[in-house]
Amino acid sequence: MPLILAWVQGAVLGLPYIAPSPASHVGAATGPHGFPFWIRWSHFFNIFFLFMLMRSGLSILMDHPRLYFNDDCTPGTEWIRFTPLKVPTDRVWTAKDDARYISPLVALPGYRHTVGVARSWHFINIYGFVLTGLFFVGGLLTSDQWLRLIPTSPTVFAQAWNTFVHYANFHFPPEPDGFYGYNALQQLAYFATVFIMAPLSILAGIAMSPAVVNSFPAYARIFGGRQSARSIHFLLLVGFIAFVAIHVTLVVLTGFARNMNHIVLGTDDLRSTGMILGFVGIAIIVLSWIAAHYASWFFPRALQHVQRAITLPLKLITLDRLVPSARYTKEQISPHFWPNGKMPERQDWKTLAAGDFKNYKLKVCGLVENPVELSIADMRALGAQETITMHHCIQGWSGIAQWRGLSLGKLIEHVKPKPYAKVVAFYSFGDGLYGGAYYDTQDIYNARKPECLLAFEMNGQPLPAVYGAPLRLRVENQLGYKMVKWIERIEFTESEKLLGKGEGGKNEDDEYFDLLPNI
């Protein structure tokens, strides 16, 4: 629509007059002159981190290639999907089945089922992106460089529209020397990118955190819900891509050598040095993509450990301290709840299932003073708890369901862990994606939180087999892969490092997922 209006205005009224900006000319008495080193280096590192985030974000997106404006994620309600497949109705179709391939030429690391590695890159680079942004904004606000980006008069909007009419009709408006100032449209575009798009993208990312959403549901509602936040996060990615494409195009068309000298060398001349060094910088960024792809496939464990070392301390003192307290109504229960995981193939589970799990006994052992074996009836007798919560999958989908089961806090009181028992391990009848029994762990601190329970009912009915019967874990401040389904036994131990490959769970071992996925 803006393009059509601009074309009509250009055809009927002609191109509008654009008054020159006195601050954008050589010798201007006021306003910023040139680009100091901190702007030039911020520009480089911003490009570096932004592209890493966009590439890893695309890989994350394709693990659930559907976007919604509702938190139910019912197939067919997505507003856009990046898969040609429709969800079949004649068989179980898991969220893993729905994941799609994406080329490593555009995504990091690319290919399929690499969301753990992609998240490692995403969360490592968000720190760099945020710190670069804070450094840049701090420099702006403590110098006269803020005049480049922050409008000081409402007339800038009219001037920006007039400039847009010129561009839309394929005419260059009078171009100021960017070394001294920008035109009105450039100023608004830079302002929106730095002060609106970047913060909004970060805030929308936080609104996808299960720890935040299930503790402060009102925060997610600011964005229209958890899935709306995910859609907004994606649309902002598109906005960044559009900004970069237009920005680079105009840099090339309005005097490439001079513009590169501005931002690379901080000089205003026509030498080729800035252009050459700029191409070197671009080559370094592209080589970083290749190196990151190589590291993803040859050193994923080291990458997982680096990401954990960078992000875990902050999560422990922030998101992990939140206590889930969100309450939903029965009317909000999702009509579709995506199944996930490999159904058990063990004969003992099939035998139990054939008898409606009447003979099922949960074995609780390890570092406890009172090891027990509990039937579902025994667990009911210990005291059942009911809650309606929102489930967050690492792949991106969500769903609301009602759960009834035994509070894990009550079970802990009943079995009396020994003082040096720090971790609770949950073992499944089912296997992991790459074989071997599925298991995951929780530290006792999270296991004692009020919303943490062993669910044996879902939506008022016995837990269906596809969703984890006879028993599954619910931990509402974390992502879904931590909520083990088809639980066979529970073991208390000193550390997750003593189990499996020592990473804290089957997906952590084999797919390099987070140990503590609060976001």
**Relative orientation angle of helices 155-168 and 184-192, to the nearest 10 degrees:** 100
Closest CA to 46 of 119, 134, 110, 149: 134
At residue 61's C-alpha, the angle toward residues 55 and 66, to 5°, is 150
- Provide the Cα torsion 54, 58, 60, 66; round to 10°: 130
pLDDT value of residue 33:
79
pLDDT at 31 over 80: no
Query: Average pLDDT of 139-151?
Result: 92
pLDDT at 344 over 70: yes
Residue 181: band (very low, low, confident or very high) from pLDDT cuts 50, 70, 90:
confident
The CA–CA distances, whole Å, from 207 to 123, 203, 272, 386, 519 equal: 15, 6, 46, 25, 9
Q: Are 212 and 391 in contact (CB under 8 A)?
A: no
pLDDT value of residue 172:
83
Other beta carbons within 10 Å of 398: 26
- Provide the Cα torsion 447, 449, 453, 458; round to 10°: -140
- Its sign, for the CA torsion 164, 165, 168, 170, is negative
Query: Average pLDDT of 225-231?
Result: 97
How far apart, in Å, do the first and last CA atoms of the chain sit? 37
pLDDT value of residue 70:
96
More confident residue, 179 or 198: 198
Query: Average pLDDT of 101-110?
Result: 95
Query: Average pLDDT of 413-431?
Result: 97
pLDDT value of residue 231:
98
Query: Average pLDDT of 16-35?
Result: 68
If you classify domain 329-510 with CATH, what class do you get? alpha beta
pTM comes to 0.93
Residue 319: band (very low, low, confident or very high) from pLDDT cuts 50, 70, 90:
very high
Q: Are 46 and 133 in contact (CB under 8 A)?
A: yes
Q: What percent of the chain has pLDDT over 70?
A: 98
How far is C-alpha 393 from the geometric centre of its chain's CA atoms?
A: 11
Residue 26: band (very low, low, confident or very high) from pLDDT cuts 50, 70, 90:
low
Every domain of the chain with CATH number 3.90.420.10 lies at 329-510
pLDDT at 331 over 60: yes
Reading the block at residue 223, the tokens are 């964005």
Task: Identify how many contiguous H helices and E strands the chain contains and give both numbers.
Answer: 19, 12
pLDDT at 285 over 80: yes
pLDDT value of residue 24:
56
Q: Are 303 and 120 in contact (CB under 8 A)?
A: yes
Identity of the amino acid at 101: Y
Residue corresponding to tokens 């970047």: 198
Tell me how far apart the alpha carbons of residues 280 and 257 are, in angstroms, rounded to a whole number. 14
Query: Average pLDDT of 218-235?
Result: 97
Reading the block at residue 60, the tokens are 């994350």
Query: Average pLDDT of 262-286?
Result: 95
**Relative orientation angle of helices 226-253 and 198-206, to the nearest 10 degrees:** 160
Residue 447: band (very low, low, confident or very high) from pLDDT cuts 50, 70, 90:
very high
pLDDT at 23 over 80: no
Residue 75: band (very low, low, confident or very high) from pLDDT cuts 50, 70, 90:
very high
Average pLDDT taken over every residue of the chain: 93
Q: Does domain 36-58+99-317 have CATH number 1.20.950?
A: yes
Every domain of the chain with CATH number 1.20.950 lies at 36-58+99-317
pLDDT value of residue 143:
93
Query: Average pLDDT of 113-142?
Result: 95
pLDDT value of residue 175:
78
pLDDT in tens, 467-518: 999 999 999 999 999 999 999 999 999 999 999 999 999 999 999 999 999 9
pLDDT at 164 over 90: no
